[in-house]
Amino acid sequence: MGYEVPSARPARRPRRMRGVLSLAAAGLFVCCVGAAGLGAWNYQQVRQSSGGARDAAEAFLHDLTSGDAAGAYDKLCGDTRARWSRDDFVQRMSVPPTINRYAIDDVAVATDRGQVRGTVTARLTRRSGAVDVREMPMVKDGDRWQVCGDPF
């Protein structure tokens, strides 16, 4: 018959379990910090873009109100320029009721499948006094914002 010597130390959890839990907690922390950083970066990109979209819409509308339809044509996106020739656009913009004043009410920018797009809402006052609220679709092409669609 064998005799067992009782252990003087109490049973302890294996240290390996603590290491695994510590490693999992560190991984979770890194993921949370990465997600927060990515969110902040995306917010910054959209915020910067809304200013560019507003500036491009402002320049486009300024050209229209000052009678520079050819300059406004240069601020249109390729799809819209494919639908309108320069001469047709200039002729259309010179026919009353032309735009006399404008005010930009809202700018919304979002990313859709990697393409930055926006919408600028503006109040256009015609020479006749009529006021139209128009949404101008905007597309970012490289570093330049362009007006897309028929905003007039």
Beta strands per DSSP E along the chain: 99-112, 115-126, 131-141, 144-147
| Bridge partners for 43 per DSSP | none
* pLDDT digits 0-9 by tens, 115-150: 888 999 999 998 888 999 999 999 998 889 999 987
| Bridge partners for 147 per DSSP | 76, 138
Encoded tokens for 41: 């970066």
* pLDDT digits 0-9 by tens, 9-60: 655 656 677 777 778 777 777 776 666 666 655 555 544 446 889 999 999 9
